[in-house]
Amino acid sequence: MSQFTTPYSDPTDPALPSSGMQLDLSRAALVVIDPQIDFLSPKGVSWSVFGKSITEHDTVKHIGQLFAAAKAAGITVAVSPHYYYPCDHEWQFGGPLEKVMHDICMFDRQGPLTLDGFDNSGADFMPEYKPYILDGKTIIASPHKVYGPETNDLALQLRKHGVSQIILAGMAANLCVESHLRELLEQGFEVAVVRDATAGPSTPEGDGYLAALINYRYIANALWTTAQTLENLSAA
């Protein structure tokens, strides 16, 4: 009999110890990756691939709860978005998912210096998150271009705000979230991933959410549910 009750359940007898991460609001930030229409809305171009997982984990609701709780707690909030400009479509090579994103015009914007056509486009933020993101206090990092934050200014912005602990959420679990997790850990941040405030692709190639969850258990400093995160934010 399997030690897992569902494919996503944690092992009943884990071999790895807890890191004992304790949230310190004075040095913590919520980082939400790609809270954009093309990922999280049925109107988005990738919904057929991600919608099942988003719905199953109630991802949209949970991300909204995290935004609200982080603002109430007074911690730093940052967004790491994904944008493609016309020049990016001239790239001469890319991985399978990069090719798909370019082919379906995912996260497309008309240019880095214009917002023409941006409002309510697939690259725009989910409408329910805009009050939190566009409040003049949230860090909106420059766009990452593949999966990780190596190509944007997220780490710099967090350092400048005195952040060393990160609550990580957003899209997608085995792609940008996992890539951000790995790089931020390498940069010396302590990172807790919110397991039900993300989601993954479902394709014949495999269950991206399950793949990510396994790796989170190995490398994240903590793996929390949204409910646990809200409790930690209110108790810290």
Q: Is the pTM of this model over 0.85?
A: yes
Which DSSP string do the residues of 3-20 spell out, in sequence order? S-SSTTSPPSS-SSPP--
pLDDT, tens only, 189-207: 999 999 999 999 999 999 9
Provide the pLDDT for residue 103: 96
pLDDT, tens only, 199-232: 999 999 999 999 999 999 999 999 999 999 999 9
Listed range (11-20, 107-116, 138-147, 162-171) with the worst mean pLDDT: 11-20
Provide the pLDDT for residue 137: 98
Q: What is the mean pLDDT of residues 230-236?
A: 92
Q: Which two tokens stand for residue 215?
A: 């790796």
Burial 139-149 (b: 16+ CB within 10 A, else e): bebbbbbbbbb
Nearest one of 82, 207, 100 to 145, comparing CA atoms? 82
Q: What are phi and psi of 197, to 5 degrees?
A: -115, 30
Provide the pLDDT for residue 2: 43
Q: Which two tokens stand for residue 190?
A: 């302590």
Q: What are phi and psi of 194, to 5 degrees?
A: -95, 105
Provide the pLDDT for residue 1: 34
Provide the pLDDT for residue 196: 98
Provide the pLDDT for residue 25: 98
Provide the pLDDT for residue 6: 81
Domains of the chain: 25-82+125-235 (3.40.50.850)
pLDDT, tens only, 127-154: 999 999 999 999 999 999 999 999 999 9
pLDDT, tens only, 61-120: 999 999 999 999 999 999 999 999 999 999 999 999 999 999 999 999 999 999 999 999
Provide the pLDDT for residue 219: 98
Average pLDDT in the chain: 96
CA 127, CA 134: separation in Å to the nearest integer? 11
Q: Residue 167: what residue type?
A: I
